[in-house]
Copies of this chain bind each other. A is one copy, B any other.
Amino acid sequence: METNYESLISKSCKNIPKSFVREILSVCDKPEFISFAGGLPNPTYFPVEQMKEAFEKIMETDGKATMQYAESQGYYPLRQWICDWYNTKYNMQITPENILITNGSQQALDMTCKLFINSGEPLMMEKPSYLGAIQAFSAYRPEFHQIRLNNSGIDLNELENVVLKTGSRILYGIPNFQNPTGISYNHQTREDLAILLDWYGIMFIEDDPYNEIRFDGESLSPVYALNPLQTIWCGSFSKMVSPGIRAGWVCAPKELMPHLLRIKQAADLHTNNIVQRLIYRFLCDNDPNDHLFKVRQAYKTQKDCMIQAIQQHFPEEISYTDPEGGMFIWATLPSFLNSDKLVQEAIQEKVVFVPGRSFYTTNDGYQNMRLNYSNSSEEMIEEGIKRLGNLIKKAIIREKETKLISQTY
């Protein structure tokens, strides 16, 4: 019998969309390209020396235990460290029993969806939303409901309508410096959401990978701190230490932990033991704030630089967000332009961004561009935005001429 692989592929797998970012990275990962497409932290600030020292220490004091199988829930001292850090920051009372260490916060998304969603059931998220979440969740074939994101955060009226209409009890969102928009929920939205979660019995999957890279404005409580019984809070060391380490965590109500543990065991037994101990050692021997201070300062400079370049080079018709942290600016083109087309032209000019469509489960986003500023120098930002601005201006002139011609005839 000849092999027909397609006939063997599951509905789950077929439902997972490709990642534009990962596809494009393989094309544009060349030094001559200016990339605003990735979500890569700036490697200048990776603490290479400190990690070397930390590794030496753990191998000297505890080498064999470091290389052995370990607890599924994660390295206890690291879980304790997370509690101490955030209990201080937000005046909370979380304990290591609330924490499970994951293989990056992407795994936390996969796990929470596996925990809650039966195929065909409703799942709510922001509109637009993180494409990695759309990918992870798609494997479980939910019925997606995207809910408008305003400048103050998720639209709670629309949320309530969707809950009443669909009976959905699972909501995914990124309250801090959302990916892709850079928008943050304000304090009022967080408080109102916390009340709504109780009222309708909704579980909120609060994705918070950019928590530590706020460079402007006041730090705001995670929704978890306002309603710890109805929230699963997902954090990451990707931005705090480095993304190549693939370490994150979920902070969840204790009642859910036995379920999350079974899911973790089934998925990969436990998160890399070496890396968990390495991070813990690094965090004990260094003040993470020293490292974070540099990162925040650099990202603010890069963000400011991109905003300035946009103001200078983009035509007036383009609107854009101005985030207080995180790594992304979200720009909106006039309705007669198309970012899928624009990105093709941009690649010819050796500059690349992510067109908006990847962030929608609906047929939307044709006017949007996600621009990452964290992994480009000021010179590259200035040059890349200039090239994009020229392309947009040309496209606008072209469209207006076409319209004029079609009106003339």
Contacts and interface: CB of A to CB of B under 8 A. Distances in A.
A46 interface: yes
B242 A269 contact: no
Contacts of A72: 22
Contact of A43 (B26, B64, B241): B64
A240 to B, nearest CB: 12
A259 interface: yes
A67 B4 CA distance: 39
Interface string A243-268: 11110000001011001001101111
Nearest to A2: B201
A408 interface: no
A207 interface: no
A273 B244 CA distance: 5
A114 interface: yes
Contacts of A339: none
Nearest to A12: B114
Contacts of A60: 52
Nearest to A198: B1
Contact of A266 (B3, B66, B136): B136
B52 A56 contact: yes
Which of A26, A266, A272 is most buried by chain B, counting CB atoms within 10 A of its CB?
A266
> What DSSP secondary structure best describes chain A's contact surface?
helix
A409 interface: no
A3 B70 contact: no
Given A43-B67, A63-B48, A230-B3, A116 B10 contact: yes
A3 B274 contact: no
Contact of A244 (B48, B69, B140, B255): B69
Given A52-B59, A273-B246, A267 B43 contact: no
B272 A103 contact: yes
The oligomer's copy count stands at: 2
A118 interface: yes
Contacts of A81: none
A178 interface: no
A18 interface: yes
A169 B9 CA distance: 11
Contact of A13 (B8, B242, B262): B262
A336 interface: no
Contact of A48 (B22, B39, B67, B114): B67
20 contacts: A1-B201, A2-B201, A3-B201, A9-B115, A10-B115, A10-B116, A10-B117, A13-B262, A16-B266, A19-B265, A22-B72, A46-B68, A52-B60, A55-B56, A69-B243, A104-B268, A110-B266, A132-B266, A245-B273, A246-B270
Interface of A: 1-5, 8-13, 16-19, 22, 26, 38-41, 43-44, 46, 48, 51-52, 55-56, 59-60, 63-72, 102-104, 106-107, 110, 114-119, 132, 135-136, 138-140, 169-170, 198-201, 203, 229-230, 241-246, 253, 255-256, 259, 262-263, 265-275, 278
Given A17-B262, A48-B63, A139-B267, 10 more contacts: A3-B229, A9-B115, A12-B114, A52-B63, A67-B241, A103-B103, A106-B266, A119-B119, A245-B273, A272-B272
